[in-house]
Amino acid sequence: MYSQDFDRAIEAIERYDTIIIHRHSSPDGDAMGSQMGLKYVLEDNFPSKKVYVVGDSAGRYSFVGGGVMDEISDEVYQGALAILLDMSEPFLVSDERYKMAECTLRIDHHQYVKKFTDLEIVDTSAESCAGLVASLVKQWGLKMPSEAAKALYTGMVTDSGRFRYDSTTAKTFETASYLFETGFDASEIYLNLYSDDLEMIKLRASFVMKIRLTEHGVGYIYTTLEEMKSLNASTFTISRGMVNTMAEIKGVNTWVNFTETEEGVLCELRSKTQNVNAIAVKYGGGGHVKASGAKVASREEAMKMLQDLDQMQIEE
């Protein structure tokens, strides 16, 4: 699904003096890259406007564009424009005060779920929200400062798996080239992205040892609540952070990482070849065609999902 308020979006950006930029909670490189990138674009092109970035802590992605969130009072939302980046559903937005803004605009590249902002630009063919923001900036005829380009490029690199996922297109490289022309030090980005503490390397190795295969070759890891408590790592680190320990196994096209929490079992689904989004949606989740997530109530339900994924291998 594709939805476009291209002209009305730039009109809104031009009209409002206060713009507050939101993104999804527990931000990844794309959420941070698009948020900080858009902030620098707007500050550079509209120096008289007040531009704020809000949300929870950026964690390991706080290096992206400085990554410091603004603390703002509720009053700031009066008569303001809120821009929401990189999420398909309202519950994913970090800081729900966006609802207090006079006008809301969402820019996203996830599978379309529903309309929940006044204006929206959703392009599911974009490899990243940051790449989509970059191409909008270009099409709107705005200037692209190198500080913004660096943040946006970081979002493109992370969400495309270093230009490796099949969401990467000619358009991706065209946008990357446009950003690169502004002249920034990309090696700094890679140094931040692709280095880990020894403890993290060891943790990943322990997850590699936990990999199991179903009868028809679906890779999976199951982490119980008890194990979680002994790991001394965040849910995010385990659930999203460990799913791709299964990404490079020859013959394994689809894999899932189950993580028990107090609220249920988190399921992170990935595939090289199949639509795992349909299965995530069946279990109340969502995301992308080949990378989706869901939260189910119990281990039994998680195992049903695993059976569905296993069944999908036969139907291929």
Q: Are 165 and 290 in contact (CB under 8 A)?
A: yes
Smallest separation (angstroms) from Mn ion to the CB of 30: 3
Smallest separation (angstroms) from Mn ion to the CB of 111: 12
Cα→Cα distances 234→75, 171, 239, 260, Å = 33, 35, 9, 12
In terms of phi and psi (left: phi > 0; alpha: psi -120 to 50; beta: otherwise), the region of 68 is beta
Instruction: Spell out, one character per residue from 268 to 297, where the chain touches Mn ion: x when CB under 5 A holds, - when not.
Output: ------------------------------
Contact between 127 and Mn ion (CB under 5 A)?
no
Cα torsion 95, 122, 288, 33 to 10°: value is: -60
Per the DSSP assignment, residues forming a β-bridge with 120 are: 106
Given the complex with Mn ion, which of 45 and 128 has the nearer CB atom?
128
The one-letter code for the residue type at 82 is A
Task: Select the residue interacting with Mn ion from 24, 26, 30, 294 (CB under 5 A).
Answer: 30
Smallest separation (angstroms) from Mn ion to the CB of 287: 10
Task: Select the residue interacting with Mn ion from 120, 123, 127, 159 (CB under 5 A).
Answer: 159
d(CA 223, CA 181): 45
CA 144 to chain centre: 22
Q: Which of 301, 233, 290 is nearest to 267 (CA)?
A: 301
Overall residue count recorded for the chain in this entry: 316
Q: Phi and psi (nearest 5°) for 86?
A: 70, 40
Smallest separation (angstroms) from Mn ion to the CB of 135: 14
With CB under 5 A as the contact rule, which of the stretches 153-161, 168-176, 247-255, 276-284 interacts with Mn ion?
Answer: 153-161
Smallest separation (angstroms) from Mn ion to the CB of 31: 7
With CB under 5 A as the contact rule, which of the stretches 48-56, 69-77, 122-130, 233-241 interacts with Mn ion?
Answer: 122-130
Given the complex with Mn ion, which of 86 and 120 has the nearer CB atom?
86
Smallest separation (angstroms) from Mn ion to the CB of 94: 14
Task: Select the residue interacting with Mn ion from 129, 203, 279, 306 (CB under 5 A).
Answer: 129
* Window 59 to 98, contacts with Mn ion (CB under 5 A): 86
* Window 193 to 232, contacts with Mn ion (CB under 5 A): none
Q: Residue 114: CB partners within 8 Å, gap ≥ 6?
A: 89
Given the complex with Mn ion, which of 129 and 144 has the nearer CB atom?
129
Smallest separation (angstroms) from Mn ion to the CB of 148: 17
Q: Are 246 and 254 in contact (CB under 8 A)?
A: no
Given the complex with Mn ion, which of 110 and 150 has the nearer CB atom?
110
- The tokens for 119 are 């204006």
d(CA 29, CA 242): 16
Given the complex with Mn ion, which of 156 and 242 has the nearer CB atom?
156
Given the complex with Mn ion, which of 84 and 306 has the nearer CB atom?
84
- The tokens for 160 are 């495309």
Q: Are 8 and 76 in contact (CB under 8 A)?
A: no
With CB under 5 A as the contact rule, which of the stretches 63-71, 95-103, 159-167, 282-290 interacts with Mn ion?
Answer: 159-167
With CB under 5 A as the contact rule, which of the stretches 2-10, 30-38, 207-215, 253-261 interacts with Mn ion?
Answer: 30-38
Given the complex with Mn ion, which of 120 and 159 has the nearer CB atom?
159
Smallest separation (angstroms) from Mn ion to the CB of 40: 18
Q: Are 274 and 290 in contact (CB under 8 A)?
A: yes
Q: Which of 172, 147, 141, 177 is nearest to 6 (CA)?
A: 141
In the complex, the residues that contact Mn ion under the rule CB under 5 A are 30, 86, 129, 159
